[in-house]
Amino acid sequence: MAGDVEPQALTRLLDRKDPRTGDALPRPAGRGPTVPGFDLMFSVPKSASMLFGLGGEREQAAVLRAQRTAVAEAMRYLNDHACLVRRGDGGHIIERGGGLIGAAFEHRTSRAGDPQIHTHVLVANLAKRDDGLWAALDGRAIYHEAKAAGHVHEATFRRELARELGVEWGCVHNGIAEVDGITEEQRAAFSRRSSEIDAYLEEHGLLGPEARQIAAVRTRHAKDYDVTPAELAPEWRTRAASLGLDRDAISKVLDRNEFRALGADTKQSIARDLLGPYGLTLQASSFDRRDVVCAFASAAQHGVTRGEIETFVDAFLRDTRVLPLVGPRAEGYVTDAYPVDSVLSQAARRVIWL
């Protein structure tokens, strides 16, 4: 993966050129890909963006470091689990690719002018095969692993910010938690872009994630890239102070506890909960590896590393109470080559035997 690149890297990737050097990348073998790449977006929780926008140099640097680490770990997860290419007549055989190629673009404000740290990663739709030729990615793997990668990002970010700033985190919902001590009302005041989308949905009587995406497009304003966070900060601080979130209030959010990594006892407790009647099979009859990734990442309220997630999941799936429903050749896309029809549908589904 390529990071910290100039904006022209976006154009280079779309033109199938190396995002750093501009050199032409080899054309994929066989029929070319139908899309040039995939745009992945990783955003930090609103409360953390507010710490960046309202805090001093320490807070700003910590949030950016945590985001860069979290994005890198999420992309390593995708590289390990979703870098698949096709070969054979009609692309009916899937195998591992040699690695994702991409460029990261870091943004610090929303289109509504609020603090919002988020990173777009443009992944080129090609990777090198074992035989040295280049081929298009199997995009289904990217889409199917995207949610798990998002949970890896969030869990890594929580850990890094807790380690650097001593913050505590609230409850995790859909993989995301907010910094404890920054209220919902305060967050809403710095979520004007979300409020615009909500207003559009209400006006048109729309519901659901697809409708929200449509609303986001139709209410999108042209972003003013000439305005910097430093220029917006005075207004941010005035707005925050009116909500009781001045510098003294922010300082009370920080350095609450000395950071402690997730202990073995806590991991065992999480495993017991996931194996229990209110765990992975509470609302589903079976689950796969991605479900365990998301569940463990969410259970780690104050964060965890990608390595810890991978180790936990591997051990969890080896537990004698976890029964596989599909043979090992479909296991998590890790076989060297297998028929495309066996991928993603029921791959590596499991149940829990109580």
**pLDDT, averaged across the chain:** 83
**Residue 299 confidence (pLDDT) above 70:** yes
Asked if the structure places residue 333 within a domain, the reply is no
Question: In degrees rounded to 5, what are phi and psi of residue 143?
Answer: -65, -40
- Those residues whose C-beta lies under 8 Å from the C-beta of residue 322, and which sit 6 or more positions away, are 275, 316, 350, 351, 352, 353
Which pLDDT does position 9 carry in this prediction? 65
Which pLDDT does position 95 carry in this prediction? 87
**Pairwise pLDDT comparison (101 vs 51), residue with the higher score:** 51
| Lookup: tokens for 188 | 């809403």
Asked if the structure places residue 74 within a domain, the reply is yes
- 21 falls in which pLDDT band (50, 70, 90)? confident
Asked if the structure places residue 135 within a domain, the reply is yes
pLDDT per position as a tens digit, 151-177: 999 999 999 999 999 999 999 999 999
**Residue 24 confidence (pLDDT) above 60:** yes
For the ranges 193-197, 277-281, 319-323, the lowest mean pLDDT is seen at 193-197
Mean pLDDT, residues 36-56: 94
Which pLDDT does position 43 carry in this prediction? 96
Asked if the structure places residue 193 within a domain, the reply is yes
Question: In degrees rounded to 5, what are phi and psi of residue 75?
Answer: -70, -35
pLDDT per position as a tens digit, 203-243: 556 566 665 555 555 556 655 556 788 899 999 999 999 99
**Residue 342 confidence (pLDDT) above 80:** no
Which pLDDT does position 184 carry in this prediction? 95
**Residue 340 confidence (pLDDT) above 70:** no
| Strand bridging mode 84-87 / 93-96 | antiparallel
Could you tell me if 130 and 137 are in contact, meaning their C-beta atoms sit under 8 angstroms apart? no
User: Would you give the end-to-end CA distance of the chain in angstroms?
Assistant: 43
Q: What is the CA radius of gyration of the chain?
A: 22
CA distance 330 to 141: 13
**Residue 5 confidence (pLDDT) above 60:** no
pLDDT above 70 covers a percentage of the chain that reads 75
Asked if the structure places residue 31 within a domain, the reply is yes
Which pLDDT does position 102 carry in this prediction? 85
Which pLDDT does position 348 carry in this prediction? 61
Asked if the structure places residue 340 within a domain, the reply is no
Please give the residue range of the domain that contains residue 209: 8-260
CA distance 157 to 250: 19
**Residue 333 confidence (pLDDT) above 60:** no
Mean pLDDT, residues 328-336: 37
Asked if the structure places residue 225 within a domain, the reply is yes
Which pLDDT does position 23 carry in this prediction? 83
Asked if the structure places residue 317 within a domain, the reply is no
**Residue 327 confidence (pLDDT) above 60:** no
Which three-class secondary structure state does DSSP give residue 334?
Answer: coil
Which pLDDT does position 112 carry in this prediction? 79
Residue 59 burial class via C-beta count within 10 angstroms: exposed 0-12, middle 13-18, buried 19 and up: buried
Give how many domains the chain has, as a whole number: 1
For the ranges 16-20, 229-233, 325-329, the lowest mean pLDDT is seen at 325-329
For the ranges 5-9, 87-91, 179-183, 344-348, the lowest mean pLDDT is seen at 344-348
pLDDT per position as a tens digit, 58-102: 999 999 999 999 999 999 999 999 999 877 766 667 889 999 988
